Every structure is written in structure tokens, then in C-alpha cells.
Amino acid sequence: MVFRNEVILTGKVAKPPLRHHRPDGSPVVQFVLELNQVQGASEAERKSRVDVVAIGRLAEAEPGLLEYGQPLLVEGRLQERRWKTAEGRSLSRIEVIATRFQKAE
């Protein structure tokens, strides 16, 4: 059996993106994608948010593509990051490492 780690999501850019560079100089853009869930659920259940990270050439995408409220289709893979706070508390976050994104209609 072959296991695959692929996701395709459509949603809206929920916050302005954060752009920075990794220590090796490669560009990074991080943003939050808001997804709409099944109708009939409560307001809290209808909306969920996913953290998305793009690295390298993809992070240099035209700035207008990642504006607040922009409908977006994102393809990528899931990744879990784990770290410890200064107080020693363990934290983790699951995010999408984008391989492609485009304006959604």
C-alpha cells in the first residue's frame, strides 16, 4: 500500500501574509486560509482556519494573489511542527506546506 500526503484546499486568505527569509536566504510567506464547512453546522463549526507556508519561488508569488479576502486554491502537504516554549511546555502545529496556489473562482 502506498501512502500519500497531499491536500487540496479552497478558501479565502484570512489575514495579510507574513513575508520573511530563512537563514539560508530563501523567501518564505505564511498566511492563514479560512475554509467554509458544511452548511447546517453552528457558526463555530462552519469556519475553520489552516496555516499555509510557501517557500522559495512560490513565496515570491505576486503580492495581489495573497490579499486579505482573496479566494485561493492551495495544493500541498501536511506537516507537523513541534517545539518547546521557554517555560518548557511542548507545543505543536499542523500546517500546509504549499506546492502550488492560484486564484480560485
Res 39: pLDDT = 64
In the numeric block, which cell numbers belong to residue 97? 506546506
pLDDT at 62 over 90: no
Average pLDDT of the residues of the chain = 89
For the chain, give every domain's residue range: 7-103
Count of C-beta atoms within a 10 Å radius of residue 18: 11
Compute CA distances 64 → 61, 69, 97, whole Å. 9, 11, 20
Alpha-carbon gap, residue 76 to 56, rounded angstroms: 14
Res 40: pLDDT = 63
- 1-19 per-position pLDDT tens digit: 888 999 999 999 998 899 9
Res 104: pLDDT = 86
**7-103 belongs to CATH 2.40.50.110:** no
- pLDDT interval class at 43 (50, 70, 90): low
